[in-house]
Structure 1
């Protein structure tokens, strides 16, 4: 019950400010048609209800499952299996990410179908999957995060030099949308589970940085699309 109350409070505090601002603008500057304004209010109610249910699902289902999977994998003592499962989970969670679908749909419209929605979704998901697998390897082999970040972003800027300009902003937007409400909790929970088993609770901070690594993958994936399609 407390989880439900906290989630409802969190959503209200998130949605209420933008709602108040739009209402003030409506009766001072915008004066939108009343039909459009009522649609906005209905949309606020539907979005709030959806976010409450979504976040409850994340806290009650995704997070515990992610930690349980992360805790169970190291016990197999198979490095390849841990990395493979990280790859697969990174892929399927990103495909389910709502933000990625919104971005891909908008890009398909703007590009007049030159970049199809499904090509972009699967490219971004593949990029996330590769870097989640790399993050699992980092935890296992205790690789320093700074070298992975420097190498990853160095490759990003190198690849950007050979990519058409129109793809560069899309690539960084793709990196941003992967830090959404579906991908981040699951990946972090997975990393916490793996790190807690491999190096104890005191070193569970090793799981952090997974999102930073995972966001590099989509950038590289879209840049490579630019090289191919461009």
Structure 2
């Protein structure tokens, strides 16, 4: 598949980027979001800004890691997580809203050095397999779809798995379908349709000023952007 270039993130580091012009803290909205949203969040933030919303500061990382930061009182206005269970114990403004779905696929580097052709290759001893670790949303979704895989590396986020594939450090890996759509250096080696259990992204406001962005994510305009990036929308 071809698509937009990805923004590769360090697995355990929080990556902070901004969308729009400079402004004061009162004009900023801090959004914590799962790393698998790295390619779509700037477009969402830009559309929200054009609609009159505040400047968005994006904080991207594994959902578990972000939730831990929030429990340690990291300041944020919105949390978009790939696992709604992580919202337990957080002080929120209003209920979480499901905004999109994603699903797992097996991907390989574009030149497919391991000559992967089907699900049977997931158990080949001569191939380097990268997956997300158990306990993080992409890891739990991988296990739910493909069972207990014997992986050579278990990563803390799906972006780290994607990095392994892009850098040629893995012959195959399990990532989100949207990652393949956005990264020209990886492909799916056989036809893999939508299959659940799916990952459901939920957004919740953590402050009063975050409510508007959460509501925007459920709007037709935001849903169209998510669909354009390969997400299954509501």
- TM over 0.5: same fold? no
> Which has more radius of gyration?
1
Q: TM-score, normalised by structure 2?
A: 0.28
Choose between structure 1 and 2: higher helix proportion. 1
Q: TM-score, normalised by structure 1?
A: 0.28
Choose between structure 1 and 2: higher strand proportion. 2
